[in-house]
């Protein structure tokens, strides 16, 4: 029986990743050698999830799969890599929902003209625009810098031609939440609550139907198996009545719950 490291290496070789360079993938393969068993298990899960997601997309949409693989290989910095990985994970989740007959017809949108991902739900075409907020280095006045970064990104995305009431904006704030927890000890809810009034004021200006903030967490399930998920921690909606977007979010994200045991935060996983 193959060990997990060998399985992971063969997985990347199947997609023709170069594992001897200074790429982000190679950097995180090195963490498989860490003597810290807990960290090693989390890194194994990180690699396996990425590979399984790429395989899933390849089986359904070879064009999108090739795009993701090309971009992951050419990512020269962590910010680009984690943004691309975020798209891979969400695309894979949508494919699982197709397999469950919950949605249909998933495809990538046209760059600059449509949201990142499009799919059919309740006889409507819905869209998901994806973005990742990340600091290369921890800034001074982290909370203020994080809030400004969030507002700038929301303003940028909200002015796109595809920002409409059939589209939701997903924002991965894992890196910001990690730095915030590391420096202040505050939970994600505490951090976002500090700017609750400013965020709620966006609802009157929102072109998207919904903005969902997510963070990546590790947890143990009831069977003591290590899991990772994108945990939805806060959202902003417009002032209009719920539509198919709201019902899709209830369907797709009601299974993302924090574990009862310790949650492990990591800057880049």
Tell me: pLDDT of 25 over 70. Answer: yes
Tell whether 138 and 185 lie within a shared domain: yes
Per-residue model confidence (pLDDT) at position 80: 83
Per-residue model confidence (pLDDT) at position 19: 82
Tell whether 66 and 151 lie within a shared domain: no
Tell whether 114 and 208 lie within a shared domain: yes
Tell whether 12 and 72 lie within a shared domain: yes
Per-residue model confidence (pLDDT) at position 267: 45
Is 250 contained in some domain? yes
Tell whether 29 and 135 lie within a shared domain: no
- Which residues are bridge partners to 168 per DSSP? 128, 210
Is 93 contained in some domain? no
Q: Which residues contact 185 (CB under 8 A, 6 or more apart)?
A: none
Is 25 contained in some domain? yes
Among 35, 56, 76, which residue terminates a domain?
Answer: 76
Tell me: pLDDT of 265 over 50. Answer: no
Give tens-digit pLDDT for 47-102.
999 999 999 999 999 999 999 999 998 876 777 888 999 999 999 999 999 999 99
Range of the domain at 27: 1-76
- Per the structure, the count of domains in the chain is 2
Per-residue model confidence (pLDDT) at position 26: 87
Q: What is the mean pLDDT of residues 206-216?
A: 91
Higher per-residue confidence, 156 vs 180: 156
Tell me: pLDDT of 234 over 70. Answer: yes
Q: How confident is the model at residue 261 (pLDDT cuts 50, 70, 90)?
A: very low
Percent of the chain at pLDDT > 70 equals 90
Tell me: pLDDT of 264 over 50. Answer: no
Percent of the chain at pLDDT > 90 equals 50
Is 103 contained in some domain? no
Tell whether 114 and 34 lie within a shared domain: no
Higher per-residue confidence, 168 vs 239: 168
Per-residue model confidence (pLDDT) at position 231: 81
């Amino acid at each position: 029986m193959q060990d997990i490291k060998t399985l992971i290496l063969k997985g990347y070789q199947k997609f023709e990743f170069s594992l001897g360079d200074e790429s982000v993938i190679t950097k995180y393969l090195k963490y498989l050698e860490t003597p810290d068993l807990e960290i090693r298990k989390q890194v194994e899960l990180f690699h396996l999830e990425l590979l399984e997601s790429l395989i899933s997309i390849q089986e359904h949409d070879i064009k999108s799969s090739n795009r993701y693989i090309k971009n992951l290989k050419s990512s020269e910095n962590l910010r680009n890599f984690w943004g691309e990985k975020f798209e891979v994970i969400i695309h894979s989740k949508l494919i699982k929902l197709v397999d469950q007959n919950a949605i249909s017809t998933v495809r990538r949108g046209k760059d600059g003209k449509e949201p990142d991902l499009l799919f059919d739900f309740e006889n409507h075409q819905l869209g998901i625009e994806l973005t990742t907020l990340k600091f290369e280095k921890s800034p001074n006045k982290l909370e203020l810098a994080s809030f400004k970064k969030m507002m700038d990104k929301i303003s940028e995305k909200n002015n796109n031609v595809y920002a409409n009431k059939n589209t939701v904006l997903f924002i991965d704030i894992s890196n910001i939440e990690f730095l915030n927890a590391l420096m202040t000890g505050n939970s994600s809810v505490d951090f976002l609550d500090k700017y609750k009034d400013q965020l709620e004021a966006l609802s009157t200006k929102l072109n998207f139907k919904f903005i969902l903030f997510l963070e990546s967490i590790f947890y143990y399930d009831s069977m003591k198996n290590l899991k990772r998920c994108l945990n939805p921690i806060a959202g902003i909606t417009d002032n209009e009545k719920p539509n198919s977007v709201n019902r899709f979010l209830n369907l797709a994200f009601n299974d993302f719950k924090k574990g009862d045991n310790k949650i492990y935060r990591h800057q880049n996983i």
